[in-house]
Structure 1
Amino acid sequence: MMNYDLGKGKYANWVVSDVSFSADTLGKTESIMYLGNGYMGLRSVAEEPYLEETRNLFVAGTFNKFDRNEVTELPNIADITRVNITIDGERFSLEFGSVKNYVKQLNLKTAELIRSFEWKSPKGKELRFNFRRFVSLDNLHLIGMKMEVESLTHPVSIGFDSGIDSQMTNSGVQHFHEGDKRIFDKKFIQLVQTTTESKVDVVLNTAHELSVNGIKVDVEPIMGMDRRKVWLQYSLDLQPGDTLAMEKLTTIHTSRDKEYAAQEYQLELLREKSMENLRTASLKGYENVYKEHVAAWDAKVWNKYNFTVNSEDPFDALALRFAIYHLTVMTPAHDERMGIGAKALSGEGYKGHSFWDTEVFIIPFFIYSNPEVAKSLLKYRYHGLVGARKKAAENGYEGTMYPWEAAWPTDGEVTPIWGAVDIVTGKQTKIWSGFIEQHITADIAFAVWQYYKITNDQEFMNLYGYEIIFDTASFWASRLEWNEQKQEYQINNVVGPDEYKEHVDNNAFTNHMAHFNISLAMKYYEELKGKNPEILEGLESKLKLTDSYKSWEEKLEKIYLPQPRKEDMVIPQDDTYLNKRVIDLEKYKNQSKVGTLFNDYNLEQVNEIQVSKQADIMILFLILENRFSPEVKQANFDYYEPKTLHDSSLSLSTHAILANDLGREELAYSLFRRATEIDLGPAMNSSDHGVHAASLGGIWQSVVLGFGGVRMVDGKLRINPRLPKHWKDLSFTINWQGSKLQLHMDHSTLTITTEKEVSLIIEVFGQKYEVTGETKINYKKQNVEV
């Protein structure tokens, strides 16, 4: 059972807790309490094993393809968390004996996992257990674990074995060759893994330190080694009142580490370096490396972003902190060759692949809060031009056609072809996204533009951005289909953001975004031609821009852009959506589990019903908001939201922001709250396969872009705060064109504090203000005090 009010004092609203153990619902806390630092992610399984557990350790970028008929995925690295414990020679498990005062919790502030409880053995002996664990943000290669066991009532004999177990799979798929194993000095363990196809070397090292009542003890371990596994076995006796402490530190290094992209790689050097890292950490001990880790979180995250939500419901502050925590641990900020998986680094769901989730739902957080990380994520897409151009050519198009699912940037399309069962035919359902869900190409171009306008990073555009925008525009120009009868260009046979509608023609989101992409390319072509022709000349030979521009110019104004109907101002989501069958969706709208529609219909049948998986037109209103009037947004919100089941975790936050824009504050907060409960809600199986990365980005967007009203519109900063009634105030830091702005807002006043000597023009509810230093704007009365 989840609990969110156990954090006290300085940790109030910082602690996510589970206060009742159940061996049948382990996946929830394994996922939402997972630990990471962007380099790696460690699922928060218990030390002792259980049947329903999922032990996952992922290192970003180590993709492998098990077989030619399989899809490349992020492989499950060897497990270092399992500790097989015996009490008086009998296996320890919480399924035996009795448990009280059980708490498993993640402290978001310190990024430490803690699990504690008192346990009475079947023989009546009572012990107190306390487990701690962290994945260092200071040393990206380091994992720390600590186990404390206190005998409360009787003498006990405690035994445990612990080491490195590479008998791990991805749902049965083994991605590694048998590797070298060795134990040094009966203390330091090393195991080497190499992926079967991509030939990535992974070196794991681990070491243990034991103490009783705070005094180090030297216990001679029994060394063990088996196929894909190496460990040490310890045993010792405790008297009542004695406490055993075991510290376990682990380092992980791979041949994919960025440093080896620029220098000659040798496995033996990797082994030596990784072991040296472990020896250095071991000399410091758990507590010292933990303190360095906490200091890194303060410096790199909490003191940097300065978020404060003052709400009558303390859960709101915790939910935002939860989102920022996960946005940090999921993101490979250390290496621009790597993207963000749809399940982050928390589970095997979606195989570690990157989707449009990153550009539309996650990157905005980093653009405003940490632009260097946003740049790294966009450079990942730049490195992916190789695979994207390959996909375009294979499909008969020009330019860059980004894969729907991406892994290593040069891999190209990695979307699986077959999915879940068709309830009517019993066959596997074909996954069409990798073939015809193409809007991601424009989404990436949009993200580049958004980054540029908010950061004013001209160097990025010169080196990377223009090339992405130009080549994606060339794809769309070649993708357009001429309709002779209507004398217009159309985009047919696609999947839009609403994936319950396949093989549709003229999806409004796709068409408008393609138009935006091409018009943006034309704009920048003309600007460069006049102001920076050498950049244009440098790209000419690679992209044939002269010919491309002629094509853009000829086609742009002839692209069909679905417009509001005269009778009700509703924009057709696609050519046939508004003519499809209408059914009663009440039971699906009130479902406790997503996807219940498919208990009654297969995908082919759903395709013929006016029902949507997620926001489609609504996302268009959010990212191209200045193209549509408030009246059109209102009409379409009222039409489409009742037909949207929010079966995608991407949907609720978008609707929350738009509801707030439309003045429907109570609905906006309700939708925001539902978004936070996708992972934090009481359902104990909602996150079994991993956290919902895009939704976590959406939580931040709901707060900052929604309630905080921060938007970039046509390259200008607009701030229209509209806080929920039960929020007293909201504070956070954003970056705007190279300057940091500290924002504080309540229900009447917006306070903006800029860096010294910086003067900015900001729009607040239609009024423009020049702000410098500390500026207070009473946006209720529309006057300003400087």
Structure 2
Amino acid sequence: MFYYQPIKNKEGLWLAEEHYNRRYIAKTESVFAQSNGHFGVRAMLELRGIDATPGMFVSGLYQKAQDGEVTELVNCPDVVELGMYIQGESVNLDNVRVEEFQRKLNLYTGELWINILFRTQNGLRFLLRSKRFAADFEKTLFYHKTEVTLLDGNKTTVTFEYGINGQITNSGTSHFQKTECRVYGKEIMAYHGALQDDGLEILTGTCFEKNQEQQDCSYHLKRRSIYAKNSILMEKGDAITLFRISHIQEDSAECKDVLEEKLEKIQQQLKRGYEQAIANQKKSMEGFCQRAAIEIDGASLQEKAGIAYAQYQMYGMDPAYTNRYSIGAKGLTGEGYKGHVFWDTELFILPFFVAEFPEAARKLLEYRYRGKAGAKRKAEDYGFQGFMYPWECAKDGFEETPLYAALNIHTGKANKVWSGIKEHHVTADIAFAISRYYYWSNDREFLNQYGTEILCETANFWVSRAEERNERLEILNIIGPDEYNEHIDNNAYTNYMAAYNVKLALKASEEALDSPYVKKMKENGTLKVMQEKWQYFLEHIYLPKPDKNGIIPQDDAFLGKEELKDIEKYRQSPVKQSVLLDYSRDEVVDMQVLKQADLVMLFTLFPGLFPADVVKKNVLFYEKRTLHDSSLSYCAHAQICAEIGEMEMAERFFAKALETDLCDNPQDSVDGIHAASLGGIWKCVIAGFAGVSCDEDGIILAPHLLEHWNSIKFSVMVQGQKMDCFMDKENISLHLCNSGKSKEPVTIKVQGKKYILKDDLHLKYGKE
């Protein structure tokens, strides 16, 4: 069930929190976070309570607190808070009575509206209204307008305090080693915070008005912070308006804009006002909305809002202006997973950008190329060859997974984190992502300059990782996507992905003749040797097949384990990983219990890998043993259930996927939203229900619309051209357009038949 109410009106499509509930404060701060690819600001309320979890995060701004700890995305100073004082006493949401409340996020423009009607302890009644957004048209700017009106009560002096609060920490750790604060002129406060390698610059310009007349303010410093203060005599009907513009920028050698120009820009924007700024924002966001639009006739308003929310948040997480950073597991919405980048980015988030914003997808993959030194280092550290990509990484691409995690409450010893040591499928996941980007875009320049080297060196890793056993090559002591089964042999997902990785390398090395990497390998005589090793690997790698019952073993031991008799108790539990409250990890490892989709995920990546009846049998078999304790699980199951025609299951799992961050559980998402599940929602719609996928032979269409969906309309980018798609229960209509440039025909496959799309194509389809 959604906690947030979808609203559609002339201003756009919104998600709204309709009442004040302290239990949901941290969750909603994450869910309504506003990001523009450069920075993200949690949806904190201006008048704070003790439950607030303020946060602002800048792409690529990482720091290690001390030796022995891992790098984390720095929580930056707060530019949102508004202190309010009457007779020296603080007015905040912990000591007032909230009579009316609404906080809502516009999914088309990224604007956040907050309305709070409250009564103070001495009987004064105020209305606070605020609007704010992270600018899409000027990525360093954050606009914020707050209005406070005295509705009832005696004449009184109210003091307002606002500025740049540099006392914000990462769960108690302050990363900024040195700070400088000052004022420029009469209206701009400045903060400079130094980190070990770079730093942060914040410039906040303000305009404070009472009843539309500008008021002067005083400034003062606090530790690592700077504030402005206004004391205003207010009587019934009086309103103060505070307009703030914050310039937020990484302070590094690559970001040395002239200070005077930045100050002048802020002053100009203050004069133009908030309304002009939001008009610019709406115009800028129109491009995103038009390009990413998905129109579904018959979909509920909740479904439409859930899909639009996923797209808006993914768009805001992506640092599309650079290849130096990628998208972390929580985007720019919270401290969860320390801002690290996982395999989630390539397999769940990247497909959205590949199909809608390929230029951004390319930069995300270039980030992996920039991190090749870290991948090479990790392979060497573990005695392997080639590129072994880190399980978690940050800015420079080196492994950031902590060796140890939380303490065992019974032994007092730290638990070892095996994922960074044994979960190797991330390497093949990146190779798979490169292939899909290339097949969608036909970007040969990328393949030559970056992709081929990654494909070949990751293939070299798999060759060195496999072991000769039982007259074949096997991958032993591994962890697959299902992290409840550790130290297993021949995880089907990993083995198949490794084989595909090596196959891609062999093909690229033979075809990417303009690749500097291929030329170099030819010149030094190693290319032929590598190709022979890859060929041997492909001929001998063990790829699990269906047993006599038609079930593909997830790994060598899984089918021989005991079933968990009371599994439904944990499948129905609202608490994630509740099975670990009753069983130890060692006990869970010995049961037929899955944390999330594993083999099922393989089916979503390779729709034709196995016959349809085999896929269906395995999906039903493994789903009964899956607890869905990962945010990646429901979306994967929704997609595959659509593909096998289990539409009731697909609809149920899709609804669960939409609820991942938007559900009525106050404990979910408090440390940031689940970025990968957002990509999974998009994949459910486009790859699952619309049935759009791509391989080396072209675009594949296999629609499976939900029963209550009459039709779906959307666009994707194929080989640099925009392809408009329309599908209903019987028809497919495609239109290829590219703004007047010469069109390249696109190969389309529907139910096993090939078609060539040049301009328009209209097809009928039905059940096979």
1:295 paired residue number: 283
Judged with a 3 Å threshold, the aligned counterparts in structure 2 of structure 1 residues 761 and 552 are, in CA distance, closer, same or farther, namely closer
Q: CA deviation at 1:287?
A: 2.2
2:762 paired residue number: 776
Contact 2:467–2:474 (8 Å) recurs in 1: yes
Contact 2:453–2:517 (8 Å) recurs in 1: no
Q: CA deviation at 1:88?
A: 4.7
2:463 paired residue number: 477
Judged with a 3 Å threshold, the aligned counterparts in structure 2 of structure 1 residues 270 and 610 are, in CA distance, closer, same or farther, namely farther
Q: How does 1:325-474 map to 2 (within 5 A)?
A: 325-410=312-397, 412-422=398-408, 425-474=411-460
CA distance in 1, matches of 2:9, 2:219: 45
Q: CA deviation at 1:321?
A: 0.2
1:210 paired residue number: 208
Q: CA deviation at 1:270?
A: 5.8
Contact 2:436–2:695 (8 Å) recurs in 1: no
Q: CA deviation at 1:506?
A: 0.9
CA distance in 2, matches of 1:26, 1:781: 48
TM-score for the superposition, normalised by structure 1 = 0.94
1:167 paired residue number: 167
The unaligned stretches of length 5 or more in structure 1 are none
1:278 aligned counterpart, secondary structure: helix
Contact 1:3–1:16 (8 Å) recurs in 2: no
Q: CA deviation at 1:312?
A: 4.7
Q: CA deviation at 1:125?
A: 2.0
1:242 aligns with one of 232, 238, 245: 238
- Report the aligned-residue RMSD: 2.0
1:25 aligned counterpart, secondary structure: helix
Residues 1:558 and 2:507 are matched in the alignment: no
CA distance in 1, matches of 2:220, 2:79: 15
CA distance in 2, matches of 1:713, 1:10: 41
Contact 1:251–1:277 (8 Å) recurs in 2: no
One-letter code of the match for 1:173? T
Q: CA deviation at 1:348?
A: 0.4
1:765 paired residue number: 751
CA distance in 1, matches of 2:2, 2:529: 60
One-letter code of the match for 1:452? Y
1:226 paired residue number: 222
- For structure 1, which segment, 748-757 or 104-113, has the greater mean C-alpha deviation from structure 2 after superposition? 748-757
2:511 aligned counterpart, secondary structure: helix
Judged with a 3 Å threshold, the aligned counterparts in structure 2 of structure 1 residues 463 and 113 are, in CA distance, closer, same or farther, namely same
1:131 paired residue number: 130
Residues 1:492 and 2:490 are matched in the alignment: no
Judged with a 3 Å threshold, the aligned counterparts in structure 2 of structure 1 residues 92 and 541 are, in CA distance, closer, same or farther, namely farther
1:400 aligned counterpart, secondary structure: coil
1:576 paired residue number: 557
Q: CA deviation at 1:404?
A: 0.4
- Residues 483-502 of structure 1 deviation map (CA, whole Å, 9 limit, x = unaligned): 1xx11111111111001111
Judged with a 3 Å threshold, the aligned counterparts in structure 2 of structure 1 residues 643 and 341 are, in CA distance, closer, same or farther, namely same
- Residues 457-500 of structure 1 deviation map (CA, whole Å, 9 limit, x = unaligned): 011101111011011001111111111xx111111111110011
CA distance in 2, matches of 1:327, 1:63: 20
Q: CA deviation at 1:758?
A: 5.2
CA distance in 2, matches of 1:480, 1:600: 36
The unaligned stretches of length 5 or more in structure 2 are none
Judged with a 3 Å threshold, the aligned counterparts in structure 2 of structure 1 residues 255 and 207 are, in CA distance, closer, same or farther, namely closer
- For structure 1, which segment, 150-159 or 538-547, has the greater mean C-alpha deviation from structure 2 after superposition? 538-547
TM-score for the superposition, normalised by structure 2 = 0.96
1:286 paired residue number: 274
CA distance in 2, matches of 1:626, 1:130: 54
One-letter code of the match for 2:292? Y
Contact 2:3–2:663 (8 Å) recurs in 1: no
Judged with a 3 Å threshold, the aligned counterparts in structure 2 of structure 1 residues 505 and 571 are, in CA distance, closer, same or farther, namely same
- Residues 603-639 of structure 1 deviation map (CA, whole Å, 9 limit, x = unaligned): 1221111101111101111112322111221121111
CA distance in 1, matches of 2:326, 2:263: 28
1:647 aligned counterpart, secondary structure: coil
One-letter code of the match for 2:127? R
Judged with a 3 Å threshold, the aligned counterparts in structure 2 of structure 1 residues 340 and 8 are, in CA distance, closer, same or farther, namely closer
One-letter code of the match for 2:290? N
The alignment of Structure 1 onto Structure 2 pairs a total of residues equal to: 762
One-letter code of the match for 1:241? G
Q: How does 1:1-80 map to 2 (within 5 A)?
A: 4-5=4-5, 7-11=7-11, 14-80=13-79
Q: CA deviation at 1:89?
A: 3.9
Q: CA deviation at 1:274?
A: 4.1
Contact 1:64–1:74 (8 Å) recurs in 2: yes
One-letter code of the match for 1:389? K
CA distance in 1, matches of 2:525, 2:682: 37
CA distance in 2, matches of 1:533, 1:134: 43
Contact 2:551–2:617 (8 Å) recurs in 1: yes
Q: CA deviation at 1:272?
A: 4.5
One-letter code of the match for 2:279? K
Contact 1:249–1:286 (8 Å) recurs in 2: no
1:727 aligned counterpart, secondary structure: coil
Q: CA deviation at 1:442?
A: 0.6
Judged with a 3 Å threshold, the aligned counterparts in structure 2 of structure 1 residues 709 and 546 are, in CA distance, closer, same or farther, namely same
Q: How does 1:55-134 map to 2 (within 5 A)?
A: 55-134=54-133
Q: CA deviation at 1:767?
A: 2.9
Contact 2:108–2:285 (8 Å) recurs in 1: yes
Q: CA deviation at 1:762?
A: 1.2
Contact 2:448–2:516 (8 Å) recurs in 1: no
CA distance in 2, matches of 1:505, 1:313: 44
- Residues 703-752 of structure 1 deviation map (CA, whole Å, 9 limit, x = unaligned): 00000110113432111111111112211110112221111111122221
Contact 1:760–1:770 (8 Å) recurs in 2: yes
Judged with a 3 Å threshold, the aligned counterparts in structure 2 of structure 1 residues 758 and 491 are, in CA distance, closer, same or farther, namely closer
Q: CA deviation at 1:283?
A: 3.2
- Residues 207-253 of structure 1 deviation map (CA, whole Å, 9 limit, x = unaligned): 2102233x23222x232112211111111122222221111111012
One-letter code of the match for 2:394? A
CA distance in 1, matches of 2:767, 2:610: 27
One-letter code of the match for 2:158? I
1:617 paired residue number: 599
Q: CA deviation at 1:327?
A: 0.6
Contact 1:4–1:15 (8 Å) recurs in 2: no
One-letter code of the match for 1:170? N
Judged with a 3 Å threshold, the aligned counterparts in structure 2 of structure 1 residues 629 and 239 are, in CA distance, closer, same or farther, namely same
Q: CA deviation at 1:170?
A: 0.7
One-letter code of the match for 2:351? P
Residues 1:677 and 2:659 are matched in the alignment: yes
Judged with a 3 Å threshold, the aligned counterparts in structure 2 of structure 1 residues 173 and 539 are, in CA distance, closer, same or farther, namely farther
Contact 2:84–2:91 (8 Å) recurs in 1: yes
Contact 1:646–1:652 (8 Å) recurs in 2: yes
2:115 aligned counterpart, secondary structure: strand
2:146 paired residue number: 147
- Residues 243-276 of structure 1 deviation map (CA, whole Å, 9 limit, x = unaligned): 21111111012234xxx44xxx76xx66545434
2:619 aligned counterpart, secondary structure: helix
Aligned-residue sequence identity (percent) comes to: 35
Judged with a 3 Å threshold, the aligned counterparts in structure 2 of structure 1 residues 369 and 570 are, in CA distance, closer, same or farther, namely same
One-letter code of the match for 1:572? P
Q: CA deviation at 1:546?
A: 3.1
